[in-house]
Each structure stands twice: as structure tokens, then as C-alpha cells.
Amino acid sequence: MNSSVTRRTFLGASFATAATAALASCSTSTAPSTSPLKRILPTDRLISQYESARPSTGNTVTQQLTAGVFDTAVAGIALSTWGYNGALNGPVIRARTGDTLNIPVTNLLAEPTSVHWHGLALRNDADGVPDITQPAIAAGDNFDYRFRLNQPGTYWYHSHVDMQRERGLSGALIIEDPREPLLYDQEWVIMLDDWLDGITGTPNEALDELSMGMDMSGMNMPMTHMLMGASSTYLGGDAGDVRMPAHLFNGKAAEDAEVLQSSAGNRIRLRIINAAGDTAYRVGVPGQKITLTHTDGFPVQHIDVDAVVVGMGERIDAILTVPDGYTPLLALPEGKVGRAYGLISTGSGTAPVAAALPTSLDGVVSDGGRLKADESVLLTAKTPDRVHTMRLTGSMGKYNWSINERRFDMKKPFAGAFDIKVGERVKIKMVNDTAMWHPMHLHGHSFQLNGNGARKDTVIVRPKETVTMQFDADNPGQWIAHCHNAYHAEQGMLGLFSYVR
């Protein structure tokens, strides 16, 4: 399959087309029973009304982002890839709740791009989803993102065009809480990523190979990228689809691990972000517990674990108390071969060599989806006004990942949409009908998992499992929900939560 065809098919209809179609719907007045729904588009005046109602410090944080091609080295291999401001991870953006973020973006790529602010309940027209919330930023063009930050926590930003995120087009976004209740001495922002670009091919080549499906590709050519036999009991079976030659901890492979200087007894707040396309990471310190405190920006009831599994798009905050000497923080690709890690040094002892580090982390293991919300962020108990069922569908055989058997079509963004109304309590039942786990992500809202579970925006849904969650429809606009496996999303495993009047 030709990747440019895939791209055009995926991006399909222009924003103008979608808007025109919706406007046409609004102007047709027929009997109520047959009248098309009036959808609240990103251009609706409600969007800026809601923005004005968000708390404001009056402070603006500005960070220029330039998307472009640059040369770097990954695992000792010189390569050329795409990133923000010429680095594998974009700049760590830091602001406080109530601040306005002002991000002028320059697109020096040869193709359109966009920036999505993962996990934020922000104004819809800044969500960065081409064809749904804005026109893509054309090659050579500029675009300013400007929006208020109304919740503290660990977030990140990334391109929402094609497979661009699978290059280096992502970075961390940390929103500090002016009334931070957690006590700690130091922070460590950690971006985990799986990497193939420039080593075994490009992400688009990998997608093209996988797109043929396991049924076809095995028959006529040797497979470069498709990974067979990656298995994780924790994730319920098949762990991933893609062979990744490198795993990165803050842009660095294990040969070149990052070292954080600290002091014995320090409490370090780990802000762990999984920016990978196809890999969950099991993160922990061998022989030492860490305390999980937040997931996806929201506080949870603290628990001590030996390791935490973080799916693509998920974030975990944890407290680690530093012992004397060198402390390795391992990030093991779940069900895959390889490892990434970083070291904490108190200035004494000698750094362990990679080969001497454990290759597994066992004991008490959890993930964000199994945590309980801190009482301060529990949604009030309420009977849902609306229940939507999202069946996760598709298979490796056909590589036809989809939702309710529908592969999302940007030309018909409202087909199969999950309609909701402002003020409703919405319940989602995610039923995984596939033989694989999926990290499912909802834009523009944080949901609460069933039974006082954690507040989250991305959750692991295991094979044959049903995960239910609720959220308050308090942020009008058009919001996608999708699998955060980059390869699954690109095949159309997306749905649209569409506010209607």
C-alpha cells in the first residue's frame, strides 16, 4: 500500500467540508423526528464562552515549537528524523493551573502537521486534530495555540497527523498545582518511547507492512516490522505488533543512560509519560518499592508497588526515595525484548553496567486502570443520562482495527458518532472484542473508571475485557476517542464524541 494514499484517505475531507456539511444540517428545517442534529462545532461561540469561564491567573507561558527535520543518533546509530526544536523530545513545557499557554508553531516539515495537548480538558478549537478541530498546519505555515490550563498534572503534547508522533514529534507538559499537597524534593520528567525510525525503516513503512495484515504478509514477503510472539500475561496476551530496535528513556538508549544527580533520602517525584507507539513499559527499581500518587494528571489513593505498567499515552506519577549510590530506574518493554533505564546518582559508588541489571520486575505490579481515585477528584454519584457502547474490533489477520466494526473515515466524521449533550453524565462501556489489549484515550475530558476507579484519559483495555467509565459532558465541541497504539489509530480505531444541541 502506498503511504501517501493512506494519508489522504485518513485525512480525507477538509475541515471546511465537515463544517459545511454540519452547517447545511443546521439550516434544513424539517419535522423534528427527521431533522439532522445540530452539532456544536469548534467554531461555535460556546467554545470561547466556556474558555472565559475557566479560572485565570492572568499569566501567559509562551513556548515556540518548530516542527522540522534534524540529525541525531539513537543507540549509536546516526539518523535523520523529525522533531520539535531539533531534539528527540520537544522542550518540557511548564506552567501553572490557570495560566494561559501560548504556543506559536512553525511547520518546517514537507507535509501538514498539528499539535495535540494530550489529557487536557481544553477549548475544543485548540485540541489539534486536523479535520475535526482545525485545518492541519500546512508545510511552511505557522499556527498559534492559545488556551487556559484548568487542571494540574503530568501531560504531554504530540503531533496528531498520520504517524508523525512515531518520529520525535512529542514533548512533556507539566502543569504545576499552586496548592500542591504532595511533598517531594525533586522531580524527574521521564518520556519513554519505542523507536524504529532510521534504524529498521520508517514508521510509515512499518505501517504499510502491517496494513497488509498477518494473513497476507506472511505469504509473500519476509516481515521486517511485524512482531510475532510478543506476549504479556499482565496485558492478557499479545503485547504488541511492531518490532522496535530501540527503547528510549528521555531520548536515550540503554548504552547512554541519563543520570539524575540527587542526594540520599531525597523524595523524587517521577513523572512518567509513555510516548511509545506500540509498547507498554513496566517501570520500577529492582528491590525497592515506589509509591504511585497520580495517573493521567489526577491524584489516586497511594499504593506501594514493585513496578507499574504504563500503556501508550498513559502517565504515572510516583514517589521514589533515593538510597545512597546508584539507583537504576528500569523501563522494560512489556512482552518485548530490550530495555531502557535511567540512573539516579548520589555521587558515591559506581554506575552499574547495563548487562548487570535485572531483566524483569516482579512482585506487586499495578497500572493506572487498577488504581482508586483520591477522594478529592471523585465524580459525584449520578445516574448516567446516556450510555454509549464502544466495541473494540479488528484483528491482526486483517489489521482492520476499528470501533463498532467501523473504521473511522475523516470524510464522514459524524458517521457512527457518539452523540452527547452539555450537562449529561455519560457512561461508556468499552467492550474489547479483539485478541489484543488497547490503550483507549478520550480527548477533552477525564473519565472516572467504574467503582471509584482513577480519573483518567487513557486506560488499558485487555482482550475480552469490558471497562466502564463515566464522565461529565462539560466541555462542548467535537472530541475523538481512539486507541493510542499509533498503528491501530492510523488504521481507523477512532470514534467521535459529538456534542449536539
Interface with Cu ion (CB under 5 A) = 438, 483, 485, 488
How far apart are alpha carbons 390 and 252 in whole angstroms? 37
Work out how close the CB of 462 gets to Cu ion at its nearest, in angstroms, rounded to a whole number: 11
Measuring CA to CA, which residue among 22, 439, 488 is closest to residue 242? Answer: 488
Residue 150 or 485: the one with the smaller Cβ distance to Cu ion is 485
Residue 252 or 488: the one with the smaller Cβ distance to Cu ion is 488
Work out how close the CB of 284 gets to Cu ion at its nearest, in angstroms, rounded to a whole number: 25
Residue 273 or 483: the one with the smaller Cβ distance to Cu ion is 483
Residue 137 or 392: the one with the smaller Cβ distance to Cu ion is 392
Residue 292 or 483: the one with the smaller Cβ distance to Cu ion is 483
Work out how close the CB of 117 gets to Cu ion at its nearest, in angstroms, rounded to a whole number: 21
Work out how close the CB of 401 gets to Cu ion at its nearest, in angstroms, rounded to a whole number: 6
Residue 249 or 487: the one with the smaller Cβ distance to Cu ion is 487
DSSP assigned state of 477: S
Residue 169 or 493: the one with the smaller Cβ distance to Cu ion is 493
Q: Which three cell numbers stand for residue 76?
A: 549509536
Residues 486 and 166 sit within 8 Å (Cβ to Cβ):
yes
Burial (Cβ within 10 Å: 0-12, 13-18, ≥19) of residue 43: middle
Distances (CA, A) of 435 to 310, 428, 438, 498: 19, 20, 10, 28
Work out how close the CB of 391 gets to Cu ion at its nearest, in angstroms, rounded to a whole number: 13
Work out how close the CB of 245 gets to Cu ion at its nearest, in angstroms, rounded to a whole number: 21
Q: What phi and psi, each to the nearest 5 degrees, are found at residue 216? A: -90, -45
Work out how close the CB of 485 gets to Cu ion at its nearest, in angstroms, rounded to a whole number: 4
Cβ neighbours, 10 Å, residue 54: 18
DSSP states along 206-263? HHHHHHT-HHHHHHHS--SSB----EETTTTEE--SB--SEEEETTB-GGG--EEE--
How far apart are alpha carbons 258 and 249 in whole angstroms? 8
